[in-house]
Structure 1
Amino acid sequence: MTINNTDDRNDEPSELELSRFLPYRLSVVSNLVSRAFARRYETAFGLSIPEWRVMAVLGRYAPASSADICQRTAMDKAKVSRAVTRLVAAGYVTRKDNPIDQRQNVLGLTRDGRRIYRQIVPLAFATEREVLEGLNAEEVAQLDQLLTKLHARAATLAPGEGGDAPD
């Protein structure tokens, strides 16, 4: 499904109208929603988007390795590493050697990290509700189905790039 102008000689677009290009639109919406949510927890807790994403994964899946976090968030290793380093320094994340594989660390939330996680989760759900406010229940269900299908298809086009399917 191409929403851009097409060339009559073939069904390929002759020009790219960025504002109608699916990857661009998904990215813009994702960034806007992430920034709206980030303003809430950044102001209250001083966390960046990558730091919150690390905490969100650990809040749900700890213990986890940095590789697990990369896989679940589709963030690159360097971004995850910087976020983990800052969170360890802030006292929100623990980092221990993996007894099975010395090349990896096992990460978890500290008591303070769990406290902050529990405070941010309601903000996450409130932001989600606000974003979905303009949709009825049927549209929300349809959006969920469509995003699940798009995720599965994108995963076949970029295997191993991370970003687990939603729970």
Structure 2
Amino acid sequence: MTHDLPPFDLDGFVPYLLAATAQKLSAQLAAGYQSRFGISIAEWRILVNVGYVSDASVRDIEQRVGLEKSKASRAASRLVEKGYVSKTVDLADRRLIKLALTDKGADLLRQIVPIAKDHSAALEQTLMGDHAVLQRILKQLLQAL
């Protein structure tokens, strides 16, 4: 059955390439920490943002990493339950939930960040000198969107 579709190169479509690559990279990195530390990809994204972005709120992190509101909220709640982050209501805007790293969360990041750095170094090797170019282009795209 033919549908008379217009020509389209899916394998050359940049949004598809970015989404597929991001998914695979996240899954590979997660393989290094999920079974060992028992945290999900969403929990990792929130934890690393709380640790390295000052004054992080759930809303800021949702926007920063592209997590759906409900997924970010559930992941943040699990991190609170596990003792890795603490939650407080922002006094200036009571709709905002601020997150802070606990000592236990900092200990976890000290163990996971080297795994993330090793993963990044392996990616850099794969790109053979194009890593800085890719990084610059991705930052430019992210800022433009």
Residue 45 of structure 1 corresponds to: 37
Q: Which runs of 4+ in 1 moved over 3 A?
A: none
In structure 2, distance between residues paired with 1:70 and 1:31: 17
Q: How far has the Cα of 1:75 moved from its partner?
A: 1.2
Give the structure with higher Rg (CA).
1
In structure 2, distance between residues paired with 1:46 and 1:124: 15
Q: How far has the Cα of 1:93 moved from its partner?
A: 1.0
1:17 aligns with 2:4: no
Cα RMSD (Å) of the superposition? 1.6
Identity %, equivalent residues? 35
The normalised TM-score by structure 2 is: 0.89
Write out per-residue CA displacement over residues 29-49 of structure 1, whole angstroms, 9 at most, x where no aligned residue. 111110000011101111100
Unaligned stretches of 5+ residues in structure 2: none
* Alignment-mate amino acid for residue 131 of structure 1: L
Unaligned stretches of 5+ residues in structure 1: 1-12, 156-167
- Among 78, 82, 92, which residue is 2:70 paired with? 78
- Asked whether the 8 Å contact 1:132–1:140 carries over to 2, the reply is yes
Q: How many residues align?
A: 141
In structure 1, distance between residues paired with 2:136 and 2:65: 20
- Among 91, 110, 114, which residue is 2:83 paired with? 91
In structure 1, distance between residues paired with 2:121 and 2:75: 27
Residue 50 of structure 2 corresponds to: 58
In structure 2, distance between residues paired with 1:69 and 1:146: 22
1:32 aligns with 2:13: no
